[in-house]
Amino acid sequence: MTMYSKWNSIVNNINRNRHLHETEVQKLWEGIFADSFLFGYSRFAGEIDSFRNIQIGSQERTIPDIVIRDSVANKDLFVVELKQHNLEFRTGYKNQLFSYMRLLRLNVGVLICNKIYLYILDNDDQEFAVEIPFLQDNPLGKEFVELFGKNSFDKIKVQQFIQRTHEFNRHVEEIKDSLSHLSAVDVLKQYYANSYTNEEIERAFSSVHVNIVMETSQHVGNTRMTPSVRQNASLLTTNRATPSAETSRLMTTLESRIKELSSRITVHQQALYMAYKIDNHNICAIWPYSHYVEIELYIDLQDIIIQNSGAYDITNRRRGKRKSAIKVANSGDIEKAILIIKQIVNRM
């Protein structure tokens, strides 16, 4: 039975049971996690721990729906919060899941309602998420089945998958947002500028109307552009790629310069970025791209005192306490970035 076949069987099961009450949803997912052809966890060995009481203080208690365990290592693996399959995502559902994750000291959590939502909380309490619709042949669903099985669960691999997919989706949305503000005519004129005069180009476009229209099918991540723009899609590329030699040099220089600011600064390697801290207090996070580096900063944009710093607001990214960022592409950018980071360090 292939991973896609396993995922498709789960989708069929959910589609037949869209209107189950939560008690039936609980039984359904206990059965799915116990199914030897799907995830293979053992009820008998206590690997599917339902409605565990977690005492808080002298009286309060909280009860997660399912905690999946490793019976051999005698440890919890991840926690599952269940809602009816016809209910859409709500922030309250996520917050409830996060409270269980923090109480159980688990980095991985699963919220299941009308879709599956995978979450990790890294050591900085930074949130990463992946949304998986119940669709046939969904590649993210295939990854879910493959990564969360009893004999294949690996916390590091799960974290890397969620972080990688989270960042991929964020970059896709950034590109789509930039496309929505892009003048397709200007891009096409630049394309033809190498072969024709401005007068010829202007005359040709005087009778042509060009638009970028985003068309999204129900299949995950399947977004396409109209034909007139798609033929020039090579002009519109994402920045996420293997870092160049120049980017690697920028990363090395930045690390050296940041560590010079204080002997208390420590560097923490994450799956996709480098985090910098002082005594467990966050300073910044550095993300490498193909031709530049982005530094996410733990400071509000309006609090930056450096003039013409080039910093910008990133609160819409939902990056926890990271409020602003700056792009670094050359030595001049490094100097501006170091001045901002020094301001943050001086506050501590």
The whole-angstrom separation of Cα 307 and Cα 334 is: 15
**34 has a pLDDT exceeding 90:** yes
Above pLDDT 90, what percent of the chain? 50
Supply the angle between the helices 3-16 and 22-34 in degrees, to the nearest 10: 160
- State residue 188's pLDDT score: 75
**Residue-wise DSSP of 316-333:** GG--TT--EEEEE-SHHH
Tokens representing 173 are 């949305």
Q: What is the pLDDT of residues 148-197, one digit of tens each?
A: 999 999 999 998 999 888 888 888 887 777 666 666 677 777 767 766 77
Q: What is the pLDDT of residues 242-274, one digit of tens each?
A: 567 788 888 889 999 999 999 999 998 876 788
The whole-angstrom separation of Cα 102 and Cα 90 is: 19
- Region 278-299 average pLDDT: 87
- State residue 235's pLDDT score: 33
Beta-bridge mates of residue 265: 278
Burial class (CB in 10 A: 0-12, 13-18, 19+), 11: middle
- State residue 101's pLDDT score: 93
The whole-angstrom separation of Cα 281 and Cα 295 is: 16
Report which of residues 47 and 235 the model is more confident about: 47
Name residues whose C-beta falls within 8 Å of residue 240's C-beta, 6 or more positions apart in sequence.
Answer: 167, 168, 171, 289, 290
Q: Are 326 and 294 in contact (CB under 8 A)?
A: yes
Q: What is the pLDDT of residues 292-328, one digit of tens each?
A: 889 999 988 888 887 888 898 887 765 567 788 999 9
Name residues whose C-beta falls within 8 Å of residue 61's C-beta, 6 or more positions apart in sequence.
Answer: 53, 54, 55
**129 has a pLDDT exceeding 80:** yes
Sequence letter at residue 2: T
Report which of residues 122 and 293 the model is more confident about: 293
**88 has a pLDDT exceeding 90:** yes
- State residue 58's pLDDT score: 65
Q: Are 266 and 277 in contact (CB under 8 A)?
A: yes
Reported confidence tier of residue 222, pLDDT bands at 50, 70, 90: very low
Average pLDDT for the chain: 83
Strand boundaries in 167-292, DSSP class E: 215-216, 223-224, 265-269, 274-278, 281-288
Above pLDDT 70, what percent of the chain? 84
Select from 240, 221, 219, 111 the least CA-distant residue to 164: 240
**215 has a pLDDT exceeding 90:** no
- State residue 336's pLDDT score: 92
**128 has a pLDDT exceeding 80:** yes
**137 has a pLDDT exceeding 80:** yes
**220 has a pLDDT exceeding 50:** no
**225 has a pLDDT exceeding 70:** no
The whole-angstrom separation of Cα 320 and Cα 341 is: 18
**232 has a pLDDT exceeding 50:** no
The whole-angstrom separation of Cα 162 and Cα 78 is: 14
Entry pTM:
0.58
Tokens 């599952």, residue located: 80
- Region 26-39 average pLDDT: 96
Q: Are 275 and 287 in contact (CB under 8 A)?
A: no
